[in-house]
């Protein structure tokens, strides 16, 4: 599907989709075409439904994964192939809203100290210390670190939006030490291997899973969990939700307000009604 792939990729770029979203959409469509061994242009609604059910029942794909496939196929048929009627009745899978595991500050310290590579440690420190998505951290440029204004310029975030986040004193000191020792060449702050423009998010994910196993954590920890920890710990420290929304780059305050459900500090400090009951004294044991 070379020509169709190029056409879809062009449509995604014209729509302003990020490079990461384009990668995932094209991968989903490529998997769909490979499943049938035919071009998607020759397939229709029946094949799409059968393929999505195959993902659910045979591949045991999670609802969020199936939702990504639905989004990619809807874009392909509605925009690139100009056949919106094919996907008009394909439903969006419901994705369960599960609250993420949140590491305590002590667990964050333990995690960071267990990372042997300085480059990877700094990457995780930025993800937690500034609340960046792992793709945003990996693609940082040297010029994005503004030590004069004490901010980090996050470029081309989700939805193609730029934003500024804080650059803490400790993070600045760590970045300067990394620069002194690693001496990265060129504009990229975290160069990749084997010709890659920068370190890849999948590389960081694999490294993190190794570190999490070594720490013996029972919590599910991914690079994105560090972003959740950033927001939750700020909220528990008294930062208002609107500021957290701006730091995270959320379009809607409702997305950020989700962290009020994750934070347990106020819940843990709330007195149970059971504690307010006036029970008679327990009799002494005989």
Active site residues: 133, 158, 224, 227, 250, 259
The answer to whether 154 touches 144, Cβ cutoff 8 Å, is yes
The answer to whether 117 touches 247, Cβ cutoff 8 Å, is no
Q: Give the CA dihedral 22, 207, 220, 114, nearest 10 degrees.
A: -150
At which residue do the structure tokens 């995932």 appear?
24
The answer to whether 166 touches 106, Cβ cutoff 8 Å, is no
**Residues whose CB is less than 8 angstroms from the CB of residue 212 and which lie 6 or more positions away in sequence, other chains included:** 111, 221
Nearest to 179 by CA among 123, 119, 132, 127: 119
Q: What's the 3-state SS for 41-73?
A: HHCCHHHHHHHHHHHHHCCCCCHHHHHHHHHHH
**Residues whose CB is less than 8 angstroms from the CB of residue 147 and which lie 6 or more positions away in sequence, other chains included:** 167, 172
Q: Which helix (H) or strand (E) is 171 found in, with range?
A: helix 169-182
């Amino acid at each position: 599907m070379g020509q169709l792939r190029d056409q879809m990729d062009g449509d995604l770029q014209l729509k302003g989709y990020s490079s990461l979203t384009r990668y995932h959409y094209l991968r989903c469509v490529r998997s769909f075409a490979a499943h049938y061994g035919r071009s998607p242009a020759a397939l229709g609604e029946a094949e799409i439904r059968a393929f999505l059910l195959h993902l659910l029942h045979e591949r045991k794909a999670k609802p969020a994964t199936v939702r990504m496939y639905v989004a990619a196929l809807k874009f392909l048929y509605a925009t690139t192939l100009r056949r919106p009627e094919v996907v008009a009745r394909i439903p969006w899978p419901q994705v369960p809203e599960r609250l993420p595991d949140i590491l305590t500050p002590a667990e964050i310290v333990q995690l960071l100290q267990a990372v042997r590579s300085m480059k990877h440690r700094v990457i995780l420190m930025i993800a937690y210390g500034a609340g960046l998505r792992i793709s945003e951290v990996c693609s940082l440029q040297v010029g994005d670190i503004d030590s004069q204004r004490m901010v980090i310029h996050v470029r081309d975030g989700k939805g193609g939006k730029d934003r500024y986040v804080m650059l803490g004193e400790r993070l600045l000191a760590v970045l300067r030490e990394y620069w002194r020792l690693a001496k990265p060449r060129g504009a990229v702050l975290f160069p990749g291997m084997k010709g890659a423009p920068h370190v890849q998010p999948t590389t960081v994910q694999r490294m993190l899973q190794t570190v999490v196993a070594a720490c013996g954590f029972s919590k599910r920890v991914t690079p994105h969990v560090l972003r959740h920890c950033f927001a939750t710990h700020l909220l528990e420290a008294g930062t208002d939700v609107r500021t957290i929304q701006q730091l995270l780059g959320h379009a809607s305050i409702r997305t950020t307000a989700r962290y009020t459900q994750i934070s347990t500090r106020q819940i843990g400090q709330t007195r149970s009604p059971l504690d307010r009951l006036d029970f008679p004294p327990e009799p002494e044991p005989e």
